[in-house]
Structure 1
Amino acid sequence: MAGGREESVNGSWKKQVDDIRKIFEFKEILGTGAFSEVVLAQEKATGEMYAVKCIPKKALRGKESGIENEIAVLRKIKHENIVALEDIYESPTHLYLIMQLVSGGELFDRIVERGFYTEQDASALIKPVLDAVNYLHSLGIVHRDLKPENLLYYNPHEESKIMISDFGLSKMEGAANDIMSTACGTPGYVAPEVLAQKPYSKAVDCWSIGVIAYILLCGYPPFYDENDSKLFEQILRAEYEFDSPYWDDISDSAKDFISNLMQKDPEKRLTCEEALRHPWIAGDTALCKNIHESVSRQMKKNFAKAKWRQAFNATAVIRHMRRLQLGSSMDSSQHRKQNLTSMPGKSQSVDVSSVNRNDCSSEQHTRPSTVTTIITGSK
């Protein structure tokens, strides 16, 4: 990438610039967070497109360790199914994380738009996620916020690979006395030991993958209640079912795979490496029966019309790149629906110690959405 003077800061590196817009042409905002916004940007020297996370330094005061942790994690990672940190720039007022641009949209969006979807498809989706998280775990990195919203398609092509994003809550396992204990993540996907505020390990990611696999096969979450305390009680007890009729046509192998990931005792839970060897992933036990109608109907009922803002607006990327005519690769996406209000909702990650109930649209929902939030911590 072009431009900037590079220097080391606390073991990381940043390129010093007076004005980032001398290097990048900012296009449109893709999303906003509590302390930052993500902007679609084109590097002037190369014409390459990136997603730039813009963080005001004044918003970082007192939180420097958090962003340094995120940068340290991202700089350590290089995997084809993980969104890459390409560069870091620093101006007098801002920190800029130059991220690989992914433009294929979210996992649920793609499933809803399909006309044919099977257990085999779900297995094929989970396998690269397991592989990528297994890679993270081999490096001593725990993601801590795995959920469908953080699984994005690289491009709009039908055969596009899936990418894991958002490492804002990730943590590198450190010394023996540096034990993870902060309750962070998103309640519907968080492991019981996290809600119990007990010390936990990388096994929390395996639980989350089990929850994602569950939703991929039925379209609704395993834990659901409009009352926060009841929702937490269900998760703490690992209380979920394979309800009829939604699970009647799902294989016993798929249920066994999920049950071994959503095991209350983290010591008994499958690791990613073990899960990759499970017959539902490595064998031929995943069924090829079309379950699209039931799954997509439930996804639309349980994950649509939420009122919070998107963390990443892939539709804006596609629209803008079409307008700029930056390649024929986007042409195949023109038939895709762009009405985000009919697509799955978003969930946020904030602190369990001050959880507030969200007023989500749940009209005609067969099951209420699990949209409560938990606060992040430093550990």
Structure 2
Amino acid sequence: MRKQDVKVIDVSMLSQAPNKHRHWNFEEFLAGKPLRKFFKRFLEEMRDIHPARLNEATGRPELHKNLLGLKHRELNSSYERGEDLGEGGFAKVYKVKDRDSGTVFACKEIRKERILSAGLDRLLLMEIRTMKRMRGLDCVMQLSDVLEDSNSVYLILDLCVGGDVQNSVLKHLEDDGSYSEADAAALLRRMVRAVKCCHDNGVIHRDIKFSNFLWTEEGGGGVLKLADFGLATFWSPEDPPVKERCGTPPFMAPEVWKGVGYTAASDVWALGVNMSVMLTGRPPYQASSPKEYAKAVCRQPIDLHVTPWSLLSADARDLLSKMLTKDPAARITIPEIQDHPWLREEGSAPTTSMTTNVKTCLRALSNMSELHQAALRLLADHAIRSGEAEEMMRAFEENDHDKDGVLDKKELLEALQDIYKQTTDSDLVSFLETFDIEGDGKITPPEFAAALLHFRAKEDEMELLEDAFPLFDCDRDGAISFADLEQALHKVGMELTDELVTVVKEMDSNHDDQVTEEEFHSFWKRHIMGEDDSDSELEPERSDSSSFLGELPKMDRSLISLHALNLGKTMSGKFSSSFRRN
């Protein structure tokens, strides 16, 4: 059986250590300040006093006889110990069998000396209290029993033999490159339901991530349960925001990083990060250090109209943008997420994926019409001139490794393989033939922007191309003439060719040498979506992504990109850590 990842509370999670050097202002007390204020401060100081006092002789904590207020009970008096499942710095987990019922559970043994030395006893108590409140909920890991002896605390939990979701997500991304939107929606629905159970019971989980969702059956099946309430806390809408900064860095919301106070909306942000990873193989931000990552989360906007998110359906991007809204007050709520068209059962999530869409875009390069190329170049030129291409220019700069202002063949191939690992030299040639206006084997920022406008879901590109009509209608008379077309082409370094003349005549259904906006739109429906003029409604094409199995790439930036940030290791002294699999 696959070893189960275990994570327990880490010393990182305390927002600040008790202030042991704060002194009383006795003169203030004698000056007549209210006794109530004095005693309030006194009680606060008493709460800061660590329950495990150090023995003067040994310097080690003196263990409480009753850390949890329970009568000491040996584990083997009620349970028979089984095989180990995992181990970390503060706890180890193994199977146990109830001696009376024969039921097999997972036992999380937490050494009291370690947890008291680290000052984490308060969080352990909170973990137990929050789990007790969640009793009877099938989507949440159940706490069946709690024992304590002179050395350890034992939590008797559901045994989830299927392992955590992170294992299945990693395998899916390694095999297929990305989840199909329909599969991602199905998994996210179950995750959202579990988080809703927490919020409905006045609990913020504060560590929503794949490794904290466990399957009850082997092979990633059965019931999906939310586990590890080591960072959970009580909160209701009537309460003030929580100030304690904690979580796993890639999943922490802006308000958590800032320390300004947060609510249950922080769990929604974390769900959005999980959704991003399933659909694109990466978190919404890339950074080289914890500091840069925090800065990006707090300040950098997310432009979902550039790759890889542009390759998702409009509804997927809409939900993702609402979940990753930086203002927690404006962020979508859990009930609203459940009612979103993309997430609903039999909703709008297509069976296509980012991987199948990028493959479609690469295939389309070999026979892209000159009018199609011209429209993309005009749209890119307009975006740059109007200041709407900031994210596209940032993407260009990230791929221009030698900072010479152009992308050479090596840089371009790396950029393409970043979203589709199996990009070939033939794909690179088709890309250059389509977008390299100068024919010098290099891509400039405007050419790169035009290419990014192409790499998106088909229905989105169709709508984008329809919006290019005003850019061709240079005299603004409501129709495109050959003079208009020639003038528009000149702006982007193209000439009127026989092919373009033929295409325009095809668009001109009434043969008056003028292309109306309606004729322009109808052309793109046929050209991009393969629809005829009789279609009154546009539905996203649904293709079975399973037909690509065995061909789909193994993407480098899968869930492993979370670890590539080096945040887990770098910040292990300050934030929660996941125990490595044995």
| 8 Å Cα contact 1:83/1:164 also seen in 2 | yes
- Match of 2:106? 51
| Aligned AA (2:128) | I
Q: 1:144 aligns to what SS in structure 2? A: coil
| 8 Å Cα contact 1:147/1:189 also seen in 2 | yes
2:289 pairs with 1:227: yes
- Match of 1:288? 351
Q: Whole-Å Cα distance in 2 between the matches of residues 42 and 304 of structure 1? A: 35
The change in CA–CA distance for 1:353 and 1:44 in structure 2 (over 3 A counts) is closer
**Residue 260 of structure 1: CA displacement?**
0.2
**5 Å matches for 1:100-249?**
100-113=158-171, 117-157=179-219, 159-173=221-235, 179-242=241-304, 246-249=308-311
Q: How many pairs were matched up?
A: 311
% identical aligned pairs: 26
- Match of 1:27? 82
2:115 pairs with 1:60: yes
Q: Runs of at least 4 residues of structure 1 off by over 3 A?
A: 12-18, 111-117, 174-179, 238-249, 290-294, 296-307, 345-356
Q: 1:233 aligns to what SS in structure 2? A: helix
| 8 Å Cα contact 2:290/2:567 also seen in 1 | no
- Match of 1:71? 128
| Aligned AA (2:130) | V
| Greater fraction of residues in helix | 2
The change in CA–CA distance for 1:256 and 1:298 in structure 2 (over 3 A counts) is farther
**Residue 15 of structure 1: CA displacement?**
6.4
Q: 2:154 aligns to what SS in structure 1? A: strand
TM-score (norm 2): 0.48
| 8 Å Cα contact 1:14/1:88 also seen in 2 | no
- Match of 2:154? 96
**Residue 194 of structure 1: CA displacement?**
0.5
Q: Whole-Å Cα distance in 2 between the matches of residues 218 and 273 of structure 1? A: 24
Q: 2:83 aligns to what SS in structure 1? A: strand
Q: Whole-Å Cα distance in 2 between the matches of residues 121 and 173 of structure 1? A: 32
The change in CA–CA distance for 1:224 and 1:60 in structure 2 (over 3 A counts) is same
Q: 1:275 aligns to what SS in structure 2? A: helix
The change in CA–CA distance for 1:21 and 1:39 in structure 2 (over 3 A counts) is same
| 8 Å Cα contact 2:170/2:558 also seen in 1 | no
| 8 Å Cα contact 1:27/1:40 also seen in 2 | yes
Q: Whole-Å Cα distance in 1 between the matches of residues 284 and 105 of structure 2? A: 36
**Residue 249 of structure 1: CA displacement?**
3.8
Q: Whole-Å Cα distance in 2 between the matches of residues 228 and 116 of structure 1? A: 25
| 8 Å Cα contact 1:238/1:262 also seen in 2 | no
- Match of 2:325? 263
What do residues 327-360 of structure 1 show as CA deviations (whole Å, max 9, x unaligned)? xxxxxxxxxxxxxxxxxx999879979659x9xx
- Match of 2:138? 80
The change in CA–CA distance for 1:234 and 1:173 in structure 2 (over 3 A counts) is same
Q: 1:89 aligns to what SS in structure 2? A: strand
| Greater fraction of residues in strand | 1
| Aligned AA (1:19) | E
**Residue 92 of structure 1: CA displacement?**
2.1
**Residue 123 of structure 1: CA displacement?**
0.5
**Residue 136 of structure 1: CA displacement?**
1.1
| 8 Å Cα contact 1:194/1:200 also seen in 2 | yes
| 8 Å Cα contact 1:191/1:207 also seen in 2 | yes
Q: Whole-Å Cα distance in 2 between the matches of residues 165 and 276 of structure 1? A: 21
Q: Whole-Å Cα distance in 1 between the matches of residues 560 and 304 of structure 2? A: 22
Q: Whole-Å Cα distance in 2 between the matches of residues 22 and 180 of structure 1? A: 40
Q: Whole-Å Cα distance in 1 between the matches of residues 170 and 261 of structure 2? A: 37
Q: Say which one has the larger Rg.
A: 2
**Residue 298 of structure 1: CA displacement?**
6.1
| 8 Å Cα contact 1:112/1:299 also seen in 2 | no
**Residue 280 of structure 1: CA displacement?**
0.6
| Aligned AA (1:73) | T
Q: Whole-Å Cα distance in 2 between the matches of residues 184 and 351 of structure 1? A: 15
**Residue 82 of structure 1: CA displacement?**
1.1
| 8 Å Cα contact 1:238/1:263 also seen in 2 | no
Q: Whole-Å Cα distance in 2 between the matches of residues 346 and 16 of structure 1? A: 45
